[in-house]
Amino acid sequence: APTLPSVTANSSQPVAGSNLRLLCSTSGGNPAPSLTWQIRTNGGSGFESVEADSTKGAPVTPFGQVTSQLTLNQVRAEYNRAVVRCLATNPVANLSSPDYVLNVLYLPVVTAVPSLAIELGAEVAIECSATGNPEPTVRLENGAGEILSAVSPLRVRYRLTAHQPSQSGTYRCVGDNRLGASNASFAIDIQYGPKVSGPGTVTARSGDQLTIQCSADANPAAPSSSVVWTHLSSGRSKSDVGATLVIRKVDRSDAGVWRCRFANTLTPSSGAAGAARWSGRHD
């Protein structure tokens, strides 16, 4: 019977993308055994047959050696922890080599959360994870490259409180191992209701045209079509004039405080308030 086949490789730690050559060898046996290959990928349920590059017999001695070469071209990261076997078969024997487990090195593969919209003042949990060989470390960075989280193996969790709108932007989950770094980006959008500003006090003479403008800082934007102007002392309101209120001929009844309100999707009914004061007087 032939000897137990054995498997060797040109590299014990091939890097993903390189070519890995495996050699199976056995000796003895009459007739000389045939050699075949099987592989089970990481997570696979069973072994599959694969074609050898070549098989050579050299029975120049009573213990003639038979070898077979299998090349995995541009070996993929998915082959890490795959199991390879070589089978030696003749009419009186069916032998399997010890399992040869592949150790494929590859850059970190990073997973980040989807892009997020957060209301100002709220808190959100952010998680980053990575796989790789060697095992990677993971960290969370903001758009300026500042590290926000502790650097941890495989996974980090970080709680972000939306203190200010300037926290909006692109964030990165970064995975590192000795082969290099990879990252996955996501966006955070800090949203807030309208912050309204107006002109303060505006003075006009009776019969003059008066124009008052107000504006709003909001995210999402507060459209001018959402503006409602209210005259506080009389309760009159205008909702079809946008962010600019024009009174063609001012009279005493227009004097007082006008308030404009914007609305966005965070404040769909009333929006934020701001005051514009002016006084009207007769000649």
Domain count, the chain: 3
Please name the amino acid found at residue 239: S
Does residue 1 fall inside a structural domain? no
- How many Å apart are CA 264 and CA 276, to the nearest integer? 20
64 and 129 assigned to the same domain:
no
Is the bond preceding residue 59 a cis peptide, omega within 30 degrees?
Answer: no
149: left (phi over 0), alpha (psi -120 to 50) or beta: beta
Q: Which of 125, 108, 107 is nearest to 116 (CA)?
A: 125
161 and 176 assigned to the same domain:
yes
- How many Å apart are CA 231 and CA 107, to the nearest integer? 65
- How many Å apart are CA 37 and CA 85, to the nearest integer? 6
Say what the pLDDT of residue 6 is: 95
Residues 6+ apart with CB under 8 A from 86: 5, 6, 7, 24, 35, 36, 37, 38, 68, 96, 97, 100
Residue 254 near residue 279 (C-beta atoms within 8 A): no
Residues 6+ apart with CB under 8 A from 231: 237, 254, 256, 257, 258
55 and 69 assigned to the same domain:
yes
State which residues of the chain have pLDDT below 70.
Answer: 54-63, 268-283
145 and 83 assigned to the same domain:
no
Token pair 């124009």: residue:
211
Say what the pLDDT of residue 274 is: 41
Tokens of 38: 């099987």
Q: Which of 192, 212, 232 is the last residue of a domain?
A: 192
- How many Å apart are CA 92 and CA 128, to the nearest integer? 55
pTM, full prediction: 0.77
Which domain CATH number covers 26? 2.60.40.10
Residue 2 near residue 95 (C-beta atoms within 8 A): yes
Say what the pLDDT of residue 40 is: 93
Domain that holds residue 270: 198-281
Say what the pLDDT of residue 187 is: 98
